[in-house]
Chains A and B, each alone.
Chain A
Amino acid sequence: MKLIHIIPLATLATAVYAASQTFDFKDPKGMNNAIFKLVAPLESINGSASGISGTVLFDPENPATTTGKIIVATESLIVPNPLQKEHMHSATWLDAAKYPEITFEAKSFANVKTETNVTTADVTGTFTLHGVSKEITAPASLTYLKDKLGDRLPNLKGDLLVIRAHFSINREDFNIQKGQNLDKVSTNIDLTLNIAGAAIAK
C-alpha cells in the first residue's frame, strides 16, 4: 500500500478515535447502583450494589461503536438482613474473597436507535460472575448529557453518559449453588443497572 493511501486511512482512524470519549463510571457521589431481585417460592430477596467502576468508550455521533467494561465489587452487594449478607458473600454462595469482581464487557451493539440524546440498543458482551464468563445480550439505554458534568460536580467541565439496563441471569449458569436451595433462593436473578459516567473536558 502506497503512502498516499495510508495517510487518508490514518486520518480517518484518528478522526473516529478523537470523536469517542472515555467515560469513567467511578461516581464520586456514589449514586451508581445495581439492583438485584430474586423471587423464590418461600422468600424474595432484594438488594443492591454500589461499588461500581469501569470505563466506556462512547461516540455520540456513532453510539453503535460503544465498547467498555463495567465492574461491580462483590463485597459491595448488600441485602437488608446482615446474616443473609454474610451468607451471600461467603464461599458457599458468591465467594467474594475468591471472586472480588462481577463484570460486564460490552462487545457489540444491535438494533441501535437514537432519538435526540437517547440511544437504545441490545448490547452483547461477556458477563462474569463467580469466576464463570458467559455471553449475554441485554437491552440498554444510553443517555448522553453534553456539558452537564458541571451541574453535578461544580468546578468540573465535561459530559455525562447515563446507562440503564435491565436483564436476567440464572445463578446455576454461574455455578452458584447449582440445584440447591431452590425454594428459598430463586435461580432467576433480575438485575437493573443505573449508572452515570463522566468524561472530563480537556
Chain B
Amino acid sequence: MLVLVSAGATWLATGANRGWTKTSVMVKTLDPVTGIEGISYDKKFLPGVDFFGAAFGGAALLAGASLFFRKSKPNNQQNNQ
C-alpha cells in the first residue's frame, strides 16, 4: 500500500504526466536576433503511466508475498483455558 501511495504521490507531484515516463524535458531559448526559439533538453525524471503501472505491479507482488510471511495469531481458546 505504501509503495502504491508513494508512486501516486510522486506522479501527482511531478505534474501527473499521462504519457510514458520521460527522462528529459524540452526547454526553449529565444534567439534575440532571429526570433527563433532554440530547443534543448534538460535531464528531468517525469514519471508516466508506465511508472504508475510498474508501482501497481510491485505493490501487488509485495502484497502477495506478504501472505507467506504472516505471523500466526495466538489461539484465543487456549488462552481462555
Contacts from A to B (Cβ < 8 Å): 29-33, 35, 43-46, 48, 50, 78, 80-84, 143, 145, 148, 151-152, 160, 162, 194-196
Given contacts A43-B19, A80-B26, contact A151 B36 (CB under 8 A): no
Majority DSSP secondary structure for residues of B touching A: strand
Which of B6-14, B27-35, B61-69, B73-81 sits within the interface? B27-35
A80 touches B41 (CB 8 A): yes
A-B contact count (CB 8 A): 60
B15 at the interface (CB under 8 A from A): no
A194 touches B36 (CB 8 A): yes
Nearest residue, chain B, Cβ from A31: B38
Within 8 A of A (CB), among B14-63: 19-26, 29, 31, 33-39, 41, 46, 48
**How close is A2's CB to chain B, nearest CB, in angstroms?**
49
**How close is A28's CB to chain B, nearest CB, in angstroms?**
12
Nearest residue, chain B, Cβ from A150: B33
Contacts from B to A (Cβ < 8 Å): 19-26, 29, 31, 33-39, 41, 46, 48
Q: Which residues of A contact B36 (CB under 8 A)?
A: 31-33, 162, 194-196
**How close is A72's CB to chain B, nearest CB, in angstroms?**
13
B34 touches A162 (CB 8 A): yes
Given A33-B36, A35-B39, A80-B25, 10 extra CB contacts under 8 A: A29-B38, A31-B36, A80-B41, A81-B22, A82-B23, A145-B33, A148-B33, A160-B33, A162-B34, A162-B36
Partner of B26, one of A30, A46, A162: A46
Query: A195 vs B37: C-alpha distance in the bound complex, in angstroms?
Result: 9
Nearest residue, chain B, Cβ from A149: B33
Query: A35 vs B38: C-alpha distance in the bound complex, in angstroms?
Result: 10
A80 touches B31 (CB 8 A): no
Q: Which residues of B contact A160 (CB under 8 A)?
A: 33-34
Q: Which residues of B contact A143 (CB under 8 A)?
A: 34-35
Q: Which residues of B contact A145 (CB under 8 A)?
A: 33-34
Q: Which residues of A contact B29 (CB under 8 A)?
A: 31
Nearest residue, chain B, Cβ from A34: B39
Query: A33 vs B31: C-alpha distance in the bound complex, in angstroms?
Result: 12
Partner of A196, one of B21, B23, B26, B31: B31
Given contacts A44-B19, A81-B20, A84-B20, contact A162 B35 (CB under 8 A): yes
